[in-house]
Structure 1
Amino acid sequence: MNAVIPRPAERSAAVEAGSLPAAGPWRIRAGERLAPVADAVRALLAPHLGERLLPGDAPTGPATEIVLSLDPAGVPPGRTVGVAPDGGAEPADEAYRLTVGPRHVICRARTSEGVFRAATTAAQLILTAPPDGLICHQELYDEPRFAWRGLLIDPARCFVTADEVRRIIDVAALYKFNVLHLHLTDNEGWRLEIPSVPALTSPPPAAQQDGPGERRYYTTEEYRDLQVYAARRHITVVPEIDLPGHCAALRTALPELPPAPAPPGLVGRFPFVPPLDLTDADTHAAVSAVLADVCALTDGPFVHIGADEAVGITDESFAAGVRELRDLTRKSGKRPVAWQESSRAGAGPDDIAQFWVDVPMMDLPDTAEELAERPRLVAAGMTVEFIRALKKFFAPSDHDVERIIDGGGRLLLSPQSHLYLDRGYAPDGTSTDQAATTARLGFPGYRPRSVRHTASWDPASYGIPEEQLAGVEATLFAHTLRGMDDLTTLLLPRIGSLAEAAWSGRAPEWDEYRTRIARHARMWSERGLVHFAAPEVPWT
């Protein structure tokens, strides 16, 4: 049985019986037009195959070949829905056909993107080979359901170095994600150098340093290099500058900026960082400079402007701020993406809103007795009064999706219930040797869930018109993370089922899926990545 994730849509029976050894040695063969794809595939395989991956196309002895081929006539066109991350009027055709024969694995597609997706399937066939080390002769056909298949990471709260981001990009590419959403700013830190506003990163605030001389933000050169690295793997980087709330790091650098108008009776009742007032001239000038620089530094067509959880701002000021953030982004030549709350400033056909929450999804207790049964909430200082205020604040979220659809906008699906990977693992599903780590990880406001729960997510369950779907994006916010190992512990193995849902448009069948994901642990270990050994999975 193949352990490929996402599972290919079709497998032809008309293939001569036989198999080839996964051990290799392997050689990648491609024409000049596909040389960049060949280089990217070679880089993905190198950590695993070592000397078994022969250099370039040099004929240095017998080898099994991965053949990359553009074949417009031999592969049916794909039928993808959603927004193209590369900004194209139509999504790239990523459909592919893969054939395993006696001495080769042939990867055919109509586009270089499709060839690369086929090659990642070939890589998984090799790297997750069964214990007998043989790959059966076969022919596979596959195509994605969603054009936008994203993964968000949060260096604002837990900084990961540029090299660590590259490691995440490689994993995302192996699972056919094509967007890396970088949450670069928040209350905890500002992680991108802004030439027009050097105070944001220079000198670095204490929160942006591990110690003397240890920088915790990306220089403009590092950011550009990350985008090039991702693009070679057909991944688009989408930066997020989270405004007008979540702005404590910006306020630390620019303390003179005034607060936005607050609703009556809120100030002093609950702690919050005052959001920005985009009608203030100095604030507008600073934000304009930030967004202009971010847009100029960004190769891709999208910039995320945040617009979530702006606690302590009037509805009128919030709506005006969101409209101005959109306008500034568009004037700089980029298309804005924002969280679902942005719909309260209006939503038109060119708007993309990221759906993440409604009050029922928050799954919060209503009474003191129910709260007492949620020790993580109690330990986090939650009270019944605070939870009631929280539900009141989030009440408008119950109608955000309706506003977006009625306005003709597009929805990017990131529901907190399943796609927020900062949710802790269920305690009764935690292996003993990882219990201490997993007990520490996970946002305390979310009920811990099993790996199977994440794998049960069905993107078709929302009844959203196909033409108004932008795609799917998993998020991994870093409220409780201390470094790269924590990040990958929450990401792996859950990345597999989400990759499958984003690619195929449906949840995997659990009993069959769990046997496939079990064979991926060796691949993660060979890349030096820590994963959660979920007891529900029969790890091999």
Structure 2
Amino acid sequence: MNAVIPQPGRQDAAAPGPGPHAKGPWRIHAADDRLTAMAGTVRTLLEPHLGNRTDTPAATLTLALDETLGPHGRTVGVAPCGAAEPVDESYRLTVTGSGITCLAATPTGVFRAVATALQLIATSTGPIPCQELCDAPRFAWRGLLIDPARHHLTPGEVRRVIDLAALYKLNVLHLHLTDNEGWRLEIPGTPGLTAAGPDGSPRGFYTAEDYRALQRYAAERFVTVVPEIDLPGHCATLREALPGLPDAPAPEGLKGRFPYVPPLDLADPGTREAVASVLADVCRLTDGPFVHVGGDEAVGATPDSFAHAIRELRSLVRESGKRPLAWQESSRAGIGPDDIAQYWVDVPMMDLPDTPEELAGRPELLAAGHTPELIAALKRFFAPSDHDLSRVLEGGGRVLLSPQSHLYLDRAYAPEVVPPAQAPTAARVGFPAYRPHGVRHTAAWDPASHAIPDDRVAGVEATVFGESVEGFDDVTVLLLPRLPSVAAAAWAGRAPRWDDHRVRVARHARLWQQRGLTYLASTEIPWDEPDSDGARAQPPPGRTPGRTSPSGPPDTDA
């Protein structure tokens, strides 16, 4: 079997006989001048997966366009690149004895075929069987949110995440750039946002050129960057940079009961002017068509103040020529056909106990300091979320599916699936208020379970927030091995078959190790069992990955 994730929709046996050897050498050939630049990107992505074999003839990875090819399936949702209709990402990949051909009607489709080819090469230990694979995505928007606001990730680390996303055919990187803990994007008109801290210590952030370079890097891999400036709540860093901004009007009786950062009051002219300047700079720096304005968890704002803030934020983004999207709470400000709401929570999804006795059986909540009073307050605060989805649908908006129950990958792993050697790490990472689960739980998510009509789904997006993150390895431990399960559901529009999927995931340990990515070796996955080809999932230690090859001519030996 091949170990491609997402599993291709159609697989046909080609002429009998072994295909090219996985460990090269490989020659990358662009059969069309429009794919010349892509060939250099492909060579860079492939480099960590090549061994040093010299006893096999060079095989060719061919990139080719055929505009007469029709789509292999129906794609629904919003195109993150801004196209009016979903881009044709369907492809045909053929393995013969001399190499692999990636064929599609569009460059985007060719690159999706390339991701399949690189997985075949990275997960195989011997010759790749001759075969033909055809596939197309179900959802046009397939995203991943990362959270440099709470723990800064260097530009190099973000590039490694972009590569990982591209290898699993994800096409959106959502950057949660601002929160109470940090502001990570240089705003030329408001330099105080990234100035040194009160003690003089430097803050990690992306300069305007860093941000432009990350967007170029992502675009070369057919990934669109969507920045998030999270307002009107989650605004402590903005308040620190611009002291004196008035608080939003608070609901009666809330002040002093629970600690929170007061949301911004967008009805205040000075606040609106400051936010307008920030968003204008963000929109000017952003190549893609979307800017996310947050809108979640505005604890301490009245419904009227919150609704006004959301309407102002949307308007400011549109005035700068971009399309706004926001978390599901934004639906309470009204919503129309041009609006996208990111659906992440309702009270049942929060899985909170109803009684003190039930709380006593939830050690993760007790460790996080939850009390019966706090849980009751959380349920009251999040009660409106039970109706957000219906508000979006009734208003004609689109839903971006990010349910906390399965797609929040900052969830801790269940202790029973953690190998002993990784128990200290697993006990430390993950948001403490979520019930821990294993990989199978994530893989069981079915997009259709939300019963949303096709024409109202924007797409699918996983998240990995950074409350517990102390370094890049923590990010990859939270992502892997769960991210491929989300990618499979987002591409195919349904949950993968677990018995087959877990075997495919096991083979991807090679890919992650070759790229120097740390992962959680969940006991749910048969890492050490031979597959149908007799190969074992765990490879010997590979060479240090992460090196990039300079771009060169399209025909070259890799």
Q: CA deviation at 1:104?
A: 1.5
Please name the residue that 1:324 is paired with: 312
The answer to whether the Cα contact below 8 Å between 1:459 and 1:505 also exists between their aligned partners in 2 is yes
1:128 aligned to which of 109, 123, 127: 123
Distance in 1 between the 2:99 and 2:198 partners? 54
- Whether 1:433 aligns to 2:421 is yes
> Which among 99, 102, 111 is matched to residue 104 of structure 1?
99
Match of 1:69 in 2: 64
2:333 pairs with one of 337, 345, 349: 345
CA distance in 2 between counterparts of 1:447 and 1:238 reads 29
1:147 counterpart = 2:157: no
Q: Which residue of 2 aligns with 1:83?
A: 78
1:232 is matched with which residue: 208, 216, 220?
220
1:417 alignment partner, one of 391, 400, 405: 405
Q: Contact 2:71/2:136 (CA < 8 Å) preserved in 1?
A: no
What is the CA deviation profile of residues 320-361 of structure 1, one whole-angstrom value per residue up to 9, with x for unaligned ones? 000000000000000001000000000100000000000000
| Structure 2 residue 161 is the aligned partner of structure 1 residue 168 | yes
> Would you say 1:374 and 2:362 are equivalent positions?
yes
Partner of 2:7: 7
Distance 1:367 1:68, change over 3 A: same
1:157 aligned onto 2:150? yes
Partner Cα distance (1:21, 1:187) in 2: 51
The residue type equivalent to 1:475 in the other structure is: T
**C-alpha deviations, 1:131-159, integer Å up to 9, x for none?**
4x121100110000000000000000011
Q: Which amino acid aligns with 1:70?
A: L
Q: Within 5 Å, which residues of 2 pair with 1:241-320?
A: 241-320=229-308
CA-to-partner distance for each residue in 1:271-327, whole Å, 9 max, x for gaps?
110000001111111100000000000000000000000000000000000000000
SS of residue in 1 equivalent to 2:100: strand
Supply the distance in 2 between the matched residues of 1:218 and 1:243 (Cα, whole angstroms): 19
Q: In structure 1, the residue corresponding to 2:196 is in which secondary structure?
A: coil
CA distance in 1, matches of 2:23, 2:410: 36
Given that 1:156 and 1:183 are in contact with CA atoms closer than 8 Å, whether structure 2 keeps it comes out as yes
Letter in 1 for 2:417: G
Q: Counterparts in 2 of 1:110-121, with a 5 A limit?
A: 110-121=105-116
Q: Secondary structure at the match of 2:50?
A: helix
After superposition, what is the alpha-carbon deviation per residue over 1:420-442, rounded to whole angstroms, capped at 9, x for unaligned? 00100001111100001101111
User: 1:27, 1:14 → 2: CA distance?
Assistant: 21
Q: What one-letter code is carried by the residue in structure 1 that aligns with 2:165? A: A
Paired amino acid for 1:365: P
Residue 78 of structure 1: how far off its partner (Å)? 4.3
TM-aligned CA deviation for residue 528 of structure 1: 1.2
Match of 1:19 in 2: 19
Post-superposition CA distance 1:171-190 (Å, at most 9, x none) = 00000000000000000000
Which 5+ residue runs of structure 1 have no aligned equivalent? 54-60
Question: Equivalent residue of 1:381, what SS?
Answer: coil
From 486, 493, 516, the equivalent of 1:505 is: 493
- Pick closer, same or farther for the CA change 1:51–1:228 going to 2, 3 Å: farther
CA contact (8 A) 1:193 1:218 kept: yes
TM-score by length of 1: 0.95
**1:295 maps to amino acid:** C
Matched letter for residue 296 of structure 1: R
1:373-522 to 2 correspondence within 5 Å? 373-522=361-510
Q: Check whether the contact 2:328–2:342 (CA below 8 A) recurs between aligned residues.
A: yes
Map of 2:531 onto structure 1: none
Q: 1-side partners of 2:51 and 2:293: how far apart?
A: 42
Contact 1:15/1:139 (<8 A) preserved: no
Name the CA distance, whole Å, in 2 between partners of 1:512 and 1:358.
31
3-state SS, counterpart of residue 151 of structure 1: strand
Q: What is residue 56 of structure 1 aligned with on the other side?
A: none
1:22 CA displacement: 1.2
* In structure 1, C-alpha distance between the alignment counterparts of 2:369 and 2:441, rounded to whole Å: 27
In the alignment of these two chains, the number of paired residues is 526
SS at match of 1:40: helix
Distance in 1 between the 2:346 and 2:26 partners? 50
Aligned counterparts of 2:69 and 2:311: Cα–Cα separation in 1: 47
Q: Which amino acid aligns with 2:173?
A: L
Amino acid at match of 2:390: E
- What TM-score do you get using the length of structure 2 for normalisation? 0.92
- SS at 1:487's partner residue? helix
Q: Structure 1 residue 199: deviation in Å?
A: 0.7
User: For structure 2, which runs of at least 5 residues remain unmatched after alignment?
Assistant: 528-536, 538-558
User: What is the deviation of 1:75?
Assistant: 4.8
Aligned Cα RMSD in Å? Answer: 1.4
* In structure 2, C-alpha distance between the alignment counterparts of 1:452 and 1:409, rounded to whole Å: 31
CA distance in structure 1 between the aligned counterparts of 2:18 and 2:183, rounded to whole angstroms: 55
2:550: which partner in 1?
A: none
Aligned to 1:57: none
Determine the C-alpha separation between the residues in 1 that align with 2:20 and 2:244.
Answer: 67
Q: Match of 2:117, SS? A: helix
Q: CA deviation at 1:16?
A: 3.7
Structure-2 change in CA distance of 1:52 and 1:248 (3 Å) = farther
User: What is the deviation of 1:205?
Assistant: 5.2
Residue in structure 2 matching 1:186, options 167, 176, 179 = 179
Q: Does the CA-based 8 Å contact 2:14-2:96 persist in structure 1?
A: no
Provide the identity percentage: 66
Residues 128 and 519 in structure 1, CA contact (< 8 A), matched pair in contact too: yes
